[in-house]
Every structure is written in structure tokens, then in C-alpha cells.
Amino acid sequence: MLYWIDPPNQSAWIQISIDMSQNNRTQASHGSIHNLEVKHSTYIRNDAHRIYAALTTSEGLDSWFTTGSKVNAAPGGEIHFRWVNWGPDHITAEDTGIVLEAIPVERFTFQWHPDTPDYATTVEINIASAEDGTIVRLREYGFADSESGLDAVLNCAAGWGEALTLLKFYLEHGVHY
């Protein structure tokens, strides 16, 4: 099954793939929920360098998304997300992870724990110049084969959509939450 949400403006999309074939059921029993992935893509009218900095530095993340985050944007470096009174529910939360790949202005990959501390998912962010702007593509995978893993993939699908929209509004219009 493929779930596809395609807004009318074509500037962002969400794709959640669920493959229920026999081969993937076997793989699912070894750690991922039917190979579920979160994928988002958005076009931002801004420079790729500024977008990369907003995603890979403490100052960048704190300017539009987090409060008091820390990033060592080098392979093996730690990334520490921190939200204080975030959103309408005033959530305060923290999570840490490891940076796997950091190619300036092209790609940033890290692992974090959106479900439980027992396992990490991988988040890949690719940045590509486009006419008069930049395309940001995000992919997250590696969710646990459990009820909480399914909840995590759905929460991350919604959360990353919101996050990339906030990034876009911040970089294009200076608006921050």
C-alpha cells in the first residue's frame, strides 16, 4: 500500500509506503515496521548555505525550531535536540543522537530516538540547488516493529512536515514559532 498526500501547491509532499508482501513481512520481524519510511520534500526560496546552517548548527536550529540545542556536525558528533514549551501543548522534550554524515550544503544524516531509547532511527536530509531556491528532501527510516514504532512513524511523518514548513517560513519570511 502507498499513502500519498500531495498538497495543491506542489511545494511539499508526504509519502508513507507500506509493503505487505511476504518478503517484507519476514524482514519486518527483524526490526522495522514493514519498511515504513517518512519522506518529505519542500522548495525553499533561499540559499543552500543558509538552509544547511539552519539544519546543522545549534544557532540555526534554535532560530526556528528548538531551544538550547547542541550540534557537533561531524561524523560521530553528537546532536542534542531540546524543545521548551513547544507547540500548543507546551511540550518540553529532549533527544540526543549521533551524526552519521555531514557534507556541507549537500547532505546531513543523523540518528535519534523518536520512539524509545532502545533503538535509533536514521534521518537523511538532502539539499539541492534549484531555480531561485533550494529543494530540501528528508527521509527517516528504521522504526521498530511494534505498536509504539507505528505511533512513532506517524508522529514523525506529521512532525517533519511541520518542521520543514517552519523552516521554509523562517528562511523565506523571517517568521519563527
pTM for this prediction: 0.82
**Other CB atoms within 10 A of residue 76 CB:** 9
Task: Name the class of domain 2-173.
Answer: alpha beta
Q: What is the pLDDT of residues 35-70, one digit of tens each?
A: 789 999 999 999 999 999 999 999 999 999 999 999
Element (H, E) at 172: helix 147-173
17 or 175, higher pLDDT: 175
**Other CB atoms within 10 A of residue 17 CB:** 14
Q: What is the pLDDT of residues 138-166, one digit of tens each?
A: 999 999 988 999 999 999 999 999 999 99
Could you state, in order of their start, the residue ranges of all structural domains in the chain? 2-173
- Average of pLDDT values for 80-105? 96
Tell me: pLDDT of 20 over 90.
no
